[in-house]
C-alpha cells in the first residue's frame, strides 16, 4: 500500500491552486485546521506516511512539537491557503465552524483548486454551514470512525487511524474529482477504508448507533435516580448496568447538543424504541394471562423478540467486526461511470462493502466488512 502510494506521488504533477487536480490523484500537500486529537493524529499519520502537511491551530501551543514532527505550522488561515494545499481538512470543534468558514470564504474564492473537507460527526449540519458560507462547490464531507476519550494535541497518535473506516458524504452536485481527491487522501494517504454515503444516510445511521443510545442510557440513569430504592439498586449494579449507562456519564451538555443537532432522526428512533419496549411489556403481561391461548401467543412473541436480532449476534460472533480484514472471496472490484458513481458506491456501502483501493480513475476494490 505504501509502495503504491509512493508511486502515485512520484507520477503526480504540480497543479495546486489552479482547479481540481485533473486525475483526482492523492494529495501531495494537505492543510489541516485544528491540531487537537483528531487533527493532530491525522497530521502525524500523514507525515509518517510521506505526505506533506501544513497546519494551523487557533492557539500556537502545539507548534513547537508539531514542527519537530515535520508538520509545517503557519500563523494564519491566509498563510495556509497561500501554501496551496490540495485539500484542507477542517478538524476544528463544530462550534468554531461558522467563524472559520467565514474567514476561509474570501481566501478560497481566490484559490478554487483547493478541496475542502472535514471530520465532523453530523454531516447535514456541517454541509448547511459550508453552503451558507458559499463554499459548497469545493466541499466533500468526511467522518472518520476514530477517537478515544482523550483530547488535545498531547493525545495525538497516528495509530488512532489504524485500519479505521471513514464515511465520505456527497451530493448530486459533488464534483467527482474532488471526491476522488478526498477518497484517495484517506485510502492512500492515511491508509484507511471508506464508505460513500449521502448526508442523510450518514446522519440516520449515526443516530441509530450513537445519538439514540445516548438518550436511552440517560433515561436509564434517570430511572434509577427516581427509584426510592436507588441506593439498593446502585449496590446491586454490576457489569450490564455499568456498560449500558457508561455513555450517560459523559458531559450531558455535549450529549444534549449532539442529540439536538440530529433531532428528527433521534426523535423517530426513540418512538421506535418505545414501541418495541411497550410490545415487550405487553408480552410479559400476556404471559401471565389466565387464558392459555393468550399465554401461548405471548410465548411465541417473546421467542420472536429474542430471536429478531440474531443476525447481529451472528455477525459479532463471526468476529467480523469492521477491523478484521476480509477473506479473499469477500473482496471484489467494480467500475462505474461519471453519472452513476454516487449510486453505485452508496449501493456498495449498503451491502456492507468498504472501499480499500482505487484501482483506476473510475474503479474500486471493496471488501465485505459489515454485512449483518
Site for a second copy in 284-323 (CB under 8 A): 284-285, 287-288, 302-303, 305-313, 315-317, 322
Q: Which is nearer to a second copy, 18 or 264 (CB)?
A: 264
Q: Which residues contact 28 (CB under 8 A, 6 or more apart)?
A: 9, 12, 14, 16, 51, 52, 86
Q: How far apart are CA 191 and CA 342, in angstroms?
A: 22
Q: x/- string (CB under 8 A) for a second copy, residues 243-282? A: xxxxxxx--xx-xx--xx--xx-xxxxxxxxxxxxx-xx-
Closer Cβ to a second copy, 15 or 250, answer by number:
250
- Tell me the three cell numbers of residue 11: 507520477
> If binding means CB under 8 A, how many residues of this protein chain bind a second copy?
101
Nearest distance, CB of residue 58 and a second copy, angstroms: 26
State how far the Cα of 276 lies from the Cα of 79, in Å rounded to an integer: 54
Residue 65 beta carbon to a second copy: minimum distance, rounded to whole angstroms: 28
Tally of residues, the chain: 372
Q: Is 228 in the site for a second copy (CB under 8 A)?
A: yes
Cell of 54: 501544513
Q: Which of residues 190-219 bind a second copy (CB under 8 A)?
A: 195, 197, 201-202, 204-206, 208-210, 212-219
**End-to-end Cα spacing for the chain:** 28
125 forms part of the interface with a second copy (CB under 8 A): no
Q: How crowded is the C-beta side of 120, counted as CA atoms within 13 Å?
A: 29
Decide whether 21 or 320 has the Cβ nearer to a second copy: 320
**1 or 274: whose CB is closer to a second copy?**
274
- Is 1 among the residues that bind a second copy (CB under 8 A)? no
**How many other C-beta atoms lie within 10 A of the C-beta of residue 223?**
12
List beta partners, residue 117: 89
Nine-digit cell string for 150: 482523550
Nearer to a second copy, 75 or 308 (CB): 308
Q: Quick one: cell of 242?
A: 455499568
Q: Tell me which residues in 140-179 interact with a second copy (CB under 8 A).
A: 145, 147, 165, 167
Q: Which is nearer to a second copy, 14 or 263 (CB)?
A: 263
- Up-side HSE of residue 338: CA atoms within 13 Å toward CB? 5
For a second copy, the closer of residues 110 and 275 by Cβ is 275
* Cβ 327 to a second copy shortest distance, Å: 17
Nearest to 24 by CA among 191, 178, 188, 194: 178
Amino acid at each position: 500500500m505504501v509502495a503504491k502510494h509512493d508511486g502515485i506521488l512520484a507520477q503526480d504533477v504540480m497543479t495546486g491552486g489552479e482547479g481540481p487536480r485533473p486525475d483526482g490523484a492523492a494529495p501531495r500537500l494537505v492543510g489541516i485546521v485544528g491540531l487537537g486529537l483528531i487533527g493532530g493524529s491525522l497530521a502525524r499519520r500523514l507525515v509518517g506516511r510521506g505526505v506533506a502537511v501544513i497546519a494551523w491551530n487557533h492557539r500556537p501551543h502545539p507548534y513547537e512539537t508539531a514542527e519537530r514532527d515535520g508538520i509545517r505550522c503557519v500563523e494564519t488561515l491566509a498563510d495556509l491557503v497561500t501554501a496551496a494545499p490540495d485539500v484542507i481538512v477542517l478538524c476544528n470543534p463544530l462550534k468554531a465552524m461558522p467563524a472559520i468558514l467565514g474567514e476561509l470564504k474570501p481566501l478560497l474564492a481566490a484559490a478554487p483548486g483547493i478541496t475542502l473537507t472535514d471530520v465532523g460527526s453530523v454531516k447535514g449540519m456541517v454541509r448547511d454551514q459550508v453552503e451558507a458560507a458559499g463554499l459548497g462547490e469545493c466541499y466533500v464531507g468526511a467522518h472518520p470512525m476514530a477517537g478515544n476519550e482523550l483530547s488535545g494535541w498531547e493525545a495525538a497518535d497516528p495509530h488512532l487511524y489504524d485500519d479505521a473506516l471513514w464515511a465520505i458524504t456527497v451530493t448530486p452536485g459533488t464534483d467527482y474529482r474532488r471526491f476522488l481527491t478526498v477518497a484517495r487522501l484517506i485510502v492512500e494517504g492515511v491508509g484507511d477504508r471508506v464508505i460513500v454515503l449521502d448526508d442523510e444516510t450518514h446522519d440516520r445511521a449515526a443516530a441509530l448507533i450513537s445519538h439514540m443510545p445516548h438518550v436511552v442510557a440517560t433515561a436509564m440513569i434517570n430511572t434509577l435516580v427516581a427509584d426510592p430504592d436507588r441506593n439498593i439498586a446502585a449496590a446491586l449494579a454490576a457489569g450490564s448496568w455499568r456498560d449500558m449507562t457508561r455513555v450517560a456519564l459523559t458531559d450531558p451538555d455535549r450529549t444534549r447538543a449532539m442529540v439536538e443537532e440530529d433531532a428528527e432522526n433521534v426523535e423517530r428512533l426513540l418512538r421506535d424504541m418505545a414501541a418495541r419496549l411497550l410490545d415487550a411489556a405487553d408480552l410479559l403481561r400476556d404471559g401471565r394471562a389466565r387464558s392459555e391461548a393468550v399465554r401461548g401467543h405471548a410465548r411465541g412473541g417473546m421467542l420472536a423478540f429474542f430471536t429478531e436480532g440474531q443476525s447481529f449476534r451472528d455477525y459479532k460472533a463471526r468476529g467480523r467486526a469492521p477491523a478484521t480484514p476480509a477473506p479473499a472471496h469477500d473482496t471484489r472490484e467494480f467500475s462505474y461511470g461519471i453519472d452513476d458513481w454516487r449510486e453505485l458506491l452508496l449501493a456498495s456501502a449498503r451491502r456492507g462493502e468498504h472501499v480499500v483501493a482505487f484501482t483506476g480513475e473510475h474503479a474500486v476494490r471493496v471488501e465485505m466488512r459489515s454485512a449483518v
